[in-house]
Amino acid sequence: MPADPELEALMARYQQGDSRAASDLVTRLSPALHRFFMVQFVSRRFADDLLQETWLRIHEVRHTYRPGEPVLPWLYAIARNIRVDQYRKTRRVEDREQQVERMPEVAAVETDRGPDLEALLAQLPESQREVVAMLKISGMSLEEVARATSSSVGSVKQKAHRAYEKLRELLTAVGFNK
CA distance to 18, 58, 71, 75, 132, per residue, from 36 (Å): 26, 16, 16, 12, 10
**pLDDT digit string, tens, across residues 82-139:** 988 887 777 666 655 555 455 555 445 454 566 777 778 888 888 888 888 888 878 8
**pLDDT digit string, tens, across residues 65-75:** 998 889 999 99
Phi-psi region of 22 (alpha: psi -120 to 50; beta: other; left: phi over 0): alpha
> What is the pLDDT, as a whole number, of residue 60?
94
Which of 136, 137, 132 lies closest to 160, judged by CA? Answer: 132
> What is the pLDDT, as a whole number, of residue 177?
66
CA distance to 28, 30, 35, 120, per residue, from 23 (Å): 9, 10, 19, 35
> What is the pLDDT, as a whole number, of residue 1?
43
| Secondary structure (3-state) at 169 | helix
Among the listed ranges 48-62, 78-92, 148-162, which one has the minimum average pLDDT value? Answer: 78-92
Domain ranges of the chain: 1-99, 114-178
CA distance to 38, 41, 108, 149, per residue, from 135 (Å): 15, 17, 28, 12
> What is the pLDDT, as a whole number, of residue 3?
64
Q: What is the mean pLDDT of the chain?
A: 83
Residues of the chain with pLDDT > 70: what percent?
Answer: 82
User: 114-178 has which CATH code?
Assistant: 1.10.10.10
Residue 107 near residue 150 (C-beta atoms within 8 A): no
Residues of the chain with pLDDT > 90: what percent?
Answer: 42
User: 1-99 has which CATH code?
Assistant: 1.10.1740.10
> What is the pLDDT, as a whole number, of residue 11?
94
